[in-house]
Amino acid sequence: MALWNAVASRLARQRSWTAGVGSSRALSSWWHSVEPAPKDPILGVTEAFLADPSPDKVNVGVGAYRDDNGKPVVLECVREAERRIAGSMNMEYLPMGGSVKMVEETLKLAYGDNSEFIKDKRVAAVQALSGTGACRLFAEFQKRFRPESQIYIPVPTWSNHHNIWRDAQVPQRTYHYYHAESRGLDFASLMDDVKNAPSGSFFLLHACAHNPTGVDPSEEQWREISQQFKAKGHFALFDMAYQGFASGDPERDAKSIRIFLEDGHFIGIAQSYAKNMGLYGQRVGCLSVLCEDEKQAVAVKSQLQMIARPMYSNPPVHGALIVSTILGDPELKQLWLKEVKGMADRIIGMRTALRENLENLGSSLSWKHITEQIGMFCYSGMTPEQVDRLTKEFHIYMTRNGRISMAGVTTGNVRYLANAIHVVTEST
């Protein structure tokens, strides 16, 4: 009897505990202190655009390429690669470091087809979850192996850079980059910051088509930056999210990196196929670190894999297969190069059209920076208040820093956009 009573009271205790856990009060109490996260400044723009029922609405906020009808584009080389891949592969895991073939081809784009560093196996490289994942992996690696270091980030920069190094708990410093008055590069202040940073500092550099400003150093300026980095023993991490989008030629757009390589720097590179192959949602990219020798490269690669393993184990296979199929086939690669140039040329054409329209409207302001800046973005110089008016009165959506994604400008909306910009910039 005593035993039965003990069992019964234990069962009762269990039942009331389970009921407590199952009640809505107990469930909701786990997360009662969680406040909604602030909206991402870039992704929030798209949400607001989608919610706007106006037929006139224009989205020049998001950094994704659109054709002249404002539609997302899948490149023909990608479609052809998909046809070739379809049904031919299994769905096994990739190794932790990702597709060896994709990484090999990706390194050639950054370091050069005949790079001695690749031949000597001095580049530690892993497939990454696009450019964001490559930056995040590097930030973790930096924290783990140079825990005392900081990262110097340009002002302004792609806003996610701040989140990435914050989450990796690497302290952030900034360096001058954009000169608001000239809407160009603040080269003198940039060089001062490089000079004044403690020797052996880590710097994040945009390899080309700087986001959000569209302002890149000239070749000569890159040479000077590289020399100053050498004098100070700084480390350069190149974020190359737009290779091919600046000039239309991926080889030309890698110039900054090649200059640093010629000068003997041990650099890191984050590469992405989101923009230049239109593989946004496939999340395919690469992180590489140039090492002193093969032995060091093997060690570094193994540590990068160790960081990836508990985060996502191994990267996705499909996008990597598309990339390696395109770049591994001379004909498909040619088609890709032609299509990248086509995207860059359309954007350059829209820059000319936007500037001409503003000038024809009799704007009292100078808009020459629209055609001087390069890549996907135009840093217009508009104030947050002017951007708010564009949205409220004209249903035009962009980030409040005045960044116009030129990829969203079309022959169909460029006059409307120019007129709206003219109205808000002349009357405030």
Ligand X SMILES: Cc1ncc(COP(=O)(O)O)c(C=O)c1O
Catalytically annotated residues: 158, 239, 275
128 vs 353, beta carbon nearer ligand X = 128
Stretch that binds ligand X, among 7-15, 107-115, 214-222, 272-280 (CB under 6 A): 272-280
- 373 makes contact with ligand X (CB under 6 A): no
CB burial class (10 A; 0-12, 13-18, 19+) of residue 348? middle
- 379 makes contact with ligand X (CB under 6 A): no
Nearest-angstrom CA–CA distance, 375 and 225: 21
Stretch that binds ligand X, among 7-15, 127-135, 309-317, 381-389 (CB under 6 A): 127-135
205 vs 289, beta carbon nearer ligand X = 205
Interacting positions 185-244 with ligand X (CB under 6 A): 206, 211, 239, 241
Stretch that binds ligand X, among 126-134, 163-171, 220-228, 399-407 (CB under 6 A): 126-134
* Helix, strand, or coil (residue 307): helix
Nearest-angstrom CA–CA distance, 269 and 204: 10
Q: How far is the CB of 242 from ligand X (least distance, A)?
A: 7
81 vs 274, beta carbon nearer ligand X = 274
CB burial class (10 A; 0-12, 13-18, 19+) of residue 218? exposed
Q: How far is the CB of 161 from ligand X (least distance, A)?
A: 7
> Could you give the count of Cα atoms lying within 13 Å of 308 in the half-sphere of its Cβ?
27
* Size, binding site for ligand X by CB under 6 A: 13
Q: How far is the CB of 208 from ligand X (least distance, A)?
A: 10
* Distinct helix (H) and strand (E) counts, the chain: 18, 13
- 324 makes contact with ligand X (CB under 6 A): no
Q: How far is the CB of 20 from ligand X (least distance, A)?
A: 43
Nearest-angstrom CA–CA distance, 141 and 146: 8
**How many CB atoms sit inside 10 A of residue 187's CB?**
17
132 vs 413, beta carbon nearer ligand X = 132
From the list 97, 131, 250, 408, which residue makes contact with ligand X (rule: CB under 6 A)?
131
- Please name the residue that has the structure tokens 């460029």: 414
- Please name the residue that has the structure tokens 């584009």: 73
130 vs 373, beta carbon nearer ligand X = 130
Nearest-angstrom CA–CA distance, 134 and 143: 14
Contact letters for ligand X, residues 42-81 (x by CB under 6 A): ---------------------x------------------
**Which residues neighbour 329 within 8 Å (Cβ) at sequence distance 6 or greater?**
none
260 vs 280, beta carbon nearer ligand X = 280
Q: How far is the CB of 190 from ligand X (least distance, A)?
A: 17
Q: How far is the CB of 162 from ligand X (least distance, A)?
A: 12
Q: Which of 360, 3, 388, 359 is nearest to 369 (CA)?
A: 359
Nearest-angstrom CA–CA distance, 361 and 422: 7
**Residue ranges binding ligand X (CB under 6 A):** 63, 130-132, 158, 206, 211, 239, 241, 272, 274, 280, 285
